[in-house]
Amino acid sequence: MGEKQEEFKSEELRKGAKTLPRRDLELTRVKEELERKVKELEAAKEREMVLRIREIAKAADIKRKVEQLEKKAKELKDARKALLNILEDIDEARKKAEEERNKTLAIIANLTDGLLVFDSDNRVSLVNSQAEEILGIRVEEIEGESLANLSRFPSLKPIVQVVKKKKKVFREEVKLHENLILEITTSPITRERERIGSLLVLHDVTHEKRIERMKTEFVSVAAHQLRTPLSAIKWSLGMILAEDMGPLTEEQKRFLQKTYQSNERMINLVNDLLDVARIEEGRYIYKPAFRDLTKICQAVINSHKAAIKRKKIRFEFKKPKEKLPQVKLDEEKISLVIQNLLENAVRYTPPGGRIVVSLKRKEKEIEFSVRDTGIGIPKEQQDRLFTKFFRGANAVRMETEGTGLGLFISKNIIEAHRGKIWAESEENRGSVFHFSLPLT
């Protein structure tokens, strides 16, 4: 058996030697096949990997996108929240504005004065109930109407006329009829310097005017009643002082002289009160004519020379060398003004002071002025000069006589002549009072 086996093996080896090249080939083919398979597998793997990578990349991209979207969503949410807050604020502000508006409208509606509001085109945009009542007009009738169109209403016509004439801010009295006197005031409504409309306020002053008129009438009647007995006293005192009733002792004369002077002061006061009453009632009559102002000045100065000398005041009258043109004036009234101003200068200048009266020709007017070195007028009181019954605190302290009516009367006289009156003054240094009269 062993032999046989050996035989077989060598047989096989022989056979094998014969088949070897074939097996090699086979092996090579298998090897190639395997290599191809490996390559294929590798390629497939690679593709799969690429796909995986792509998938991963895609997933990463999606994640990023999701994150972005989430961020955006958060931003949107925040924005929405902010928007809601803003809307809430706006709503609150709107409510507040509405409240303010209602408050303003309530104030306007309950105002005791009439009120008309015009827009930038001068059309009526608001009328309160008081204005409706005062003017006897319904708001529907005039709302949206232009100012010019309002004159078709009889109650508005005089108001429109005044408003058109004056244009800017003003305050003026308008008499609509016997029982209705209005003080009308206009003023622009501006926002950031831009005119967006205007206001017309109608203030009923009928009652005040009636009381004022009654006061003036009372003063007028009282002054008239006082004038007759005062004239009688003056006349009698004059006779006694002239010793028509028999001789007087020096002492009697002195006393009577004082009485006479006091009576004169009373007559002056009564005359001033009568002038004021006439001015206020519009009954102050002017008789203008062309006159020489230099002569009028000189006449008043002459009548005050004695008083000036008594107080040892240095006095000077400065007038231009050339003759001044004549001025249209009421001689009596202008003399009264010069007299008031000169008397004040003498009265309020301590003895030894200086007074200079001057006349100057200006282009279209003549200017009169009187300068003194007197007590002056306190700065804080100067805006009340020329008002009725004003007397400076220092003047009152000086215990000088005076009514506080002279400058008020003078102002009215000068303004009735279309002139101007003004003053400059410094307390304890002196004052200058001026007036100017137009040449035409």
Contact positions vs ligand ADP (CB under 6 A): 340, 344-345, 348, 372, 374-377, 385, 390-392, 395, 402-408, 431
The residues, any chain, with a CB within 8 Å of residue 312's CB and separated by 6 or more, are: 351, 352
Q: From the CB of 434, what's the least distance to ligand ADP, in Å?
A: 12
CB nearer to ligand ADP: pick between 153 and 317: 317
Smallest gap from residue 320 Cβ to ligand ADP (A): 23
How is residue 179 written in tokens? 């029982």
Q: Which of 430, 355, 344, 332 is nearest to 390 (CA)?
A: 344
Q: How far is the CB of 275 from ligand ADP (least distance, A)?
A: 12
**How near is the Cβ of 268 to ligand ADP at its closest, in Å?**
9
CB of 390: closest distance to ligand ADP in angstroms? 5
- Torsion-angle region of residue 389: left (phi > 0), alpha (psi -120 to 50) or beta? left
Say if residues 318 and 371 touch (Cβ distance below 8 Å). Answer: no
Query: Residues 339, 299: contact at Cβ < 8 Å?
Result: no
Nearest approach, Cβ of residue 129 and ligand ADP (Å): 44
Dihedral (C-alpha) 128, 133, 135, 138: value to the nearest 10 degrees? 70
Closest approach of Cβ 358 to ligand ADP, in Å? 15
* Comparison of 114 and 402: residue with beta carbon closer to ligand ADP: 402
Q: Which is nearer to ligand ADP, 114 or 376 (CB)?
A: 376
> For ligand ADP, which is the closer residue by CB, 327 or 375?
375
The least CB distance from residue 348 to ligand ADP, in Å, is 4
What is the enclosing helix (H) or strand (E) of 333? helix 331-347
Length of the chain: 440
Smaller CB separation from ligand ADP, 83 or 307: 307
> Cβ closer to ligand ADP: 220 or 344?
344
Nearer to ligand ADP, 130 or 403 (CB): 403
Sign of torsion over alpha carbons 229, 231, 232, 237: positive
Residue whose pair of structure tokens reads 């009156």 in the numeric block: 421
| Contact (Cβ atoms closer than 8 angstroms) between residue 405 and residue 413 | no
d(CA 322, CA 145): 59
Residue 368 burial (10 A CB sphere; 0-12, 13-18, 19+)? buried
Between 153 and 390, CB nearer to ligand ADP:
390
